Structure 1
Amino acid sequence: MKEEERQRLVELLRKAIYELTGNYYPDERIRILEYKLERLLKRVHMNSTAPENVISSFMRTPENRKLLIDLMTVPETRFFREREQLEVLFDVLLKDKRQLEVASVGCSTGQEPYSIAMLMAKRGINGRVLGLDINEEVLRKARSGVYNLSQLKDIPEEYRGFVEVKGEFFEINPDIKRRVEFRYVNLIESETFEPLKCRCDVVLCRNVLIYFSGDSKRKALLNLKDMLRKGGILVLSSTEILGKEYHDLFKTVKAERFFFYKKREAEDDKSPCG
């Protein structure tokens, strides 16, 4: 493939991913996109290398669209990421709660929702954790609850009773697994959020919205807001700040050194969340 064709293909791929998922690859992340494109082309035989034909081939069938999404959306994750922020959430903002519905959006292979379930179990909080992602492949791995032993170091000593070591792997114990449910969602497709409306007290969406901008980011935030019950809390990573252009959706709440975002309700709001 000529360099000019490759450049055109990268641009078309960037547009296709944005249309499918809302994720935008800015110029500074083009190298990552090029690397992923190489992997993609190795997995699928193409009759034509013309950029438009390559992209239309991926967009033509649900199977190929799924392959494209799965390869392009594999975020980094680990157990108890930003642990201090999670502890402030449960021990300060939610200290009197004994029943909670919590969602982890962009949950990848499940480390975050399982960490939340452990935090809740340790504090005697009942309820469910929803692990939500657009990538079906990582959701399958998450449901297994089996991880390489090298990841055990990320789990604090006092929480290791919630896992069982089995040779070179460890598995989340059945009690924690029962607390967690994994589902497919697309942050910019409102219909995938319909069953989740008004369901959650807390929604974590950490290090996900950094890949969104403009209309797709607002659409994603509207879907996250719709998931929350009245007074529900949105949690972003400690390095993310929700700009003023979204203050019609959420109001900022500070607890210790962290910012959280509470669902904003209009005075005449007649939503079913109550």
Structure 2
Amino acid sequence: TSYLFREFKDYAPIINSYYLNGNTSDIIKILSIGCSTGQEVYSLAIYCLEHNIPCEIMGIDLSESAIQKAKKAEYSLSYELQKNLENLGSEWNNHYKKYFTITGDSLSPNTNVKQRVRFRVEDSSKLNYFSEFDFIIARKMLYYLPEKNLRDTIDSIKKALKSGLDYSQHILIDDFTYHKIPALKQMIYHVM
């Protein structure tokens, strides 16, 4: 289940720190693997807007229907408020509301947010990017992959990450994956 700003406090500060420390003179490029219906991607775009961080964010998923929903970007207001109240308290309602158009129970990111994101149907084990992204986020999806696909996905991720970046700081993956490939702890930033 996806929702806006899900466990967002775990990794958003890493992006802010990277930008503030002058690690890029350009736009921060972020890839979200297994983006489902797009809430994580839009949350990242809003975070970057809020902190004046120029960004381009791509979300990929194998599910064509999930990507279509991500592109449509219409979410249930009552559901999103409930999930975010559980996780962020009143912060979301008071602070991030300005980034959305609300019609009845429908919530949609505004144009300023949508301009920073793209979505594609794509297989994470066959990424065709070389040294392109500052951050790659793969959370809550890798543990579904068979070991062979997981290894191919990790290889694809390593190639897609910009050259010279420390893998341990720029690939954000959930903890469960380490049970399949313990050696990943050496190269991946640990985010619960």
2:151 counterpart SS class? helix
Q: Does 1:223 align with 2:156?
A: yes
Which of 52, 58, 67 matches 1:139? 67
Unmatched 5+ stretches in structure 2: 85-90
1:113 alignment partner AA: V
| Matches of 1:241 and 1:185, distance apart in 2 | 20
Q: % of aligned pairs identical?
A: 22
1:251 alignment partner AA: M
Which of 183, 188, 192 matches 1:245? 183
Structure 1 residues 252 and 125 mapped into 2: Cα distance closer, same or farther (>3 Å)? same
- Residue 118 of structure 1 corresponds to 46
**1:154-184 Cα distance to aligned partner (Å, 9 max, x none):** 2813111100111121111001001000011
Contact 1:79 1:151 in 2 (8 A): no
State the Cα distance separating 1:148 from its structure 2 match: 1.2
Contact 1:109 1:139 in 2 (8 A): yes
Q: How many residues align?
A: 173
| Matches of 2:21 and 2:187, distance apart in 1 | 21
Q: Does 1:211 align with 2:144?
A: yes
Q: Does 1:172 align with 2:109?
A: yes
Contact 1:218 1:246 in 2 (8 A): no
Q: Does 1:106 align with 2:44?
A: no
Larger radius of gyration: 1
| TM norm structure 1 | 0.58
- Residue 87 of structure 1 corresponds to 12
| Matches of 1:77 and 1:236, distance apart in 2 | 16
State the Cα distance separating 1:94 from its structure 2 match: 4.2
> CA RMSD for the aligned pairs?
2.1
| TM norm structure 2 | 0.81
2:56 counterpart SS class? strand
Show structure 1 runs of 4+ deviating over 2 A.
90-99, 239-247, 250-253
State the Cα distance separating 1:152 from its structure 2 match: 3.5
Unmatched 5+ stretches in structure 1: 1-75, 254-258, 261-274
